[in-house]
């Protein structure tokens, strides 16, 4: 059984255009990881249940395991590799690092992309709003608390408030 | 707390300690939040092979024979192994060296691994798995405590 012929398409990832040849049945996740070498986007359940493959397409979080790469042609795809501005980390990335909200790190890219989309819509989300926004992203390490606190910390800094992590968060007492 | 705290740190003032009691960034925090951390699934090497497992379709059965010849003949397949190739049991604890990576003679659940294929890509490995013929002699599955007494 021969493999299906590849198609040549242009994908715009993190504001860069890539000409890439891939089998037309491939998901956006597979093309990002296997054909573009962008392995920051993680491969989890392939069923749309775990959220670790979340990227943004035209600013909206989508599960890249459930989207064909061909459907994403002509759209703006954003992955974790594009979050930092050169050496300057995005405030969400800084907060996740500071608070230990990234432990094993496997769910982190999907959560960062989902949270970034939330903070563009809602500059001051309450805890319940953050929980709802991240409900599709599973994390087995942190128990979610540090993740919620990191999103709140990043949101405060993005609003220009000189926010520091709560003492209890970083010291446990 | 009070004076006891001082004793805990052998008389040192906790405020003078640079590591203990201080919020520190994990050494890999930056690579975790930038997606740079390489997990096993992120590694890709030249001429890397892909492995797929053929798993049991029976809940409880004796493996009568496994024919891997068609799978081995498929273009792109580098190796096919079964439990017979891995006779030495292993285990995490010295007292429980009773595990097998591939079932040697019996399967004990649907999904028990019975054969492994290494091939040039995932699709070839998957196709090779489908070409492996396993003959099972079904045994009575024991699905409850009560069934075990019969």
Instruction: Please tell me the least confidently modeled range out of A2-6, B5-9, B47-51.
Output: B5-9
What pLDDT digit, counting tens, does each position of A92-101 carry? 999 999 999 9
The C-alpha of B147 sits at a distance from chain A's nearest C-alpha, in angstroms, of 35
Q: Which of B21, B33, B44 sits opposite A96 (nearest CB)?
A: B33
Q: Which of B25, B37, B39 sits opposite A97 (nearest CB)?
A: B25
Q: Which two tokens stand for residue B30?
A: 């930056």
What pLDDT digit, counting tens, does each position of A113-170 carry? 999 999 999 999 999 999 999 999 999 998 999 999 999 999 999 999 988 887 777 7
Does pLDDT of B115 surpass 80? yes
Contact B123 A3 (CB under 8 A): yes
Contact A97 B37 (CB under 8 A): no
Confidence of residue B16 (pLDDT cuts 50, 70, 90): confident
Q: What is the mean pLDDT of residues A73-78?
A: 98
Among A130, A54, A46, smallest CA distance to B35 is for: A54
Contact B35 A81 (CB under 8 A): yes
What's the predicted TM-score (pTM) here? 0.83
Contact A105 B42 (CB under 8 A): no
Task: Give the model's pLDDT for residue B104.
Answer: 95
Does pLDDT of B59 surpass 50? yes
Cα diameter, chain A: 62
The C-alpha of A100 sits at a distance from chain B's nearest C-alpha, in angstroms, of 7
Q: For chain A, where are the alpha helices, taking DSSP H only?
A: 28-30, 91-98, 108-121, 127-133, 145-158, 167-171
Restricting to A residues 38-97, those with a Cβ less than 8 Å away from any Cβ of B are: 38-43, 79-81, 83-84, 89, 93-94, 96-97
Task: Give the model's pLDDT for residue B143.
Answer: 86
Confidence of residue A2 (pLDDT cuts 50, 70, 90): low
Q: B19, B27, B35: which to substitute to probe chain A, counting the most A Cβ within 10 Å?
A: B35
Q: B1, B24, B33, B127: which to substitute to probe chain A, counting the most A Cβ within 10 Å?
A: B33
Question: Does A171 lie at the interface with B, CB-CB under 8 angstroms?
Answer: yes
Task: Give the position of tokens 């409880």.
Answer: B60
3-class SS at A19?
strand
Task: Give the model's pLDDT for residue B148.
Answer: 85
Does pLDDT of B88 surpass 70? yes
Contact A112 B33 (CB under 8 A): yes
Does pLDDT of B141 surpass 70? yes
Restricting to A residues 110-139, those with a Cβ less than 8 Å away from any Cβ of B are: 112
Q: What is the mean pLDDT of residues B44-68?
A: 96
Task: Give the model's pLDDT for residue B1.
Answer: 42
Task: Give the model's pLDDT for residue B2.
Answer: 44
Task: Give the model's pLDDT for residue A172.
Answer: 67
Q: What is the mean pLDDT of residues B98-102?
A: 94
The C-alpha of B110 sits at a distance from chain A's nearest C-alpha, in angstroms, of 20
Confidence of residue B8 (pLDDT cuts 50, 70, 90): low
What pLDDT digit, counting tens, does each position of A34-61 carry? 999 999 999 999 999 999 999 999 999 9
Q: What is the mean pLDDT of residues B19-40?
A: 92
Task: Give the model's pLDDT for residue A173.
Answer: 66
Contact A102 B29 (CB under 8 A): yes
Contact residues on chain A for B126, CB-CB shorter than 8 A: none
What pLDDT digit, counting tens, does each position of B120-132 carry? 999 999 999 999 9
Distances (CA, A) of A111 to A78, A114, A125, B31, B118: 13, 5, 15, 15, 34
Does pLDDT of B114 surpass 60? yes
Share of chain A above pLDDT 70, in %: 97
Share of chain B above pLDDT 90, in %: 76
Give the Cα separation of A75 and B5 in Å (integer): 58
């Amino acid at each position: 059984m021969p493999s299906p012929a590849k198609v040549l398409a242009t994908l715009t990832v993190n504001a860069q255009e890539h000409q890439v040849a891939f089998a037309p049945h491939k998901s956006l996740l597979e093309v990002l990881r296997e054909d573009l070498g962008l392995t920051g986007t993680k491969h989890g359940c392939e069923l749309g249940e775990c959220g670790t493959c979340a990227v943004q397409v035209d600013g909206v979080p989508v599960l890249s395991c459930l989207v064909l790469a061909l459907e994403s042609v002509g759209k703006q795809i954003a992955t974790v590799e594009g979050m930092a501005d050169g050496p300057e980390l995005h405030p969400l990335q800084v907060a996740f690092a500071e608070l230990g909200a990234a432990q094993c790190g496997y769910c982190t890219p999907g959560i960062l992309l989902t949270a970034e989309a939330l903070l563009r819509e809602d500059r001051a989300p309450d805890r319940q709003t953050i929980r709802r926004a991240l409900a599709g992203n599973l994390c087995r390490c942190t128990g979610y608390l540090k993740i919620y606190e990191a999103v709140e910390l990043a949101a405060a800094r993005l609003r220009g408030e000189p926010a520091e992590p709560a003492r209890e968060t970083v010291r446990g007492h | 707390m009070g004076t006891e705290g001082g004793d805990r740190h052998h008389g040192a003032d906790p405020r003078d300690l640079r590591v203990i009691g201080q919020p520190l960034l994990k050494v890999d925090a930056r690579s975790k939040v930038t997606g740079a951390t390489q997990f096993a699934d992120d590694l890709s090497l030249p001429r890397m092979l892909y492995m797929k497992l053929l798993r049991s379709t029976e809940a409880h059965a004796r493996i009568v024979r496994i024919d891997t010849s068609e799978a081995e003949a498929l273009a792109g397949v580098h190796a096919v192994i079964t439990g017979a190739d891995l006779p030495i049991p292993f285990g995490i604890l010295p007292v429980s060296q009773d595990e097998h990576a591939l079932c040697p003679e019996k399967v004990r659940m649907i999904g028990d691994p019975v054969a492994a294929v290494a091939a040039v890509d995932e699709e070839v490995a998957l196709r090779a798995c489908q070409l492996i013929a396993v003959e099972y002699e079904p045994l009575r599955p024991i699905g409850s405590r009560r069934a075990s007494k019969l």
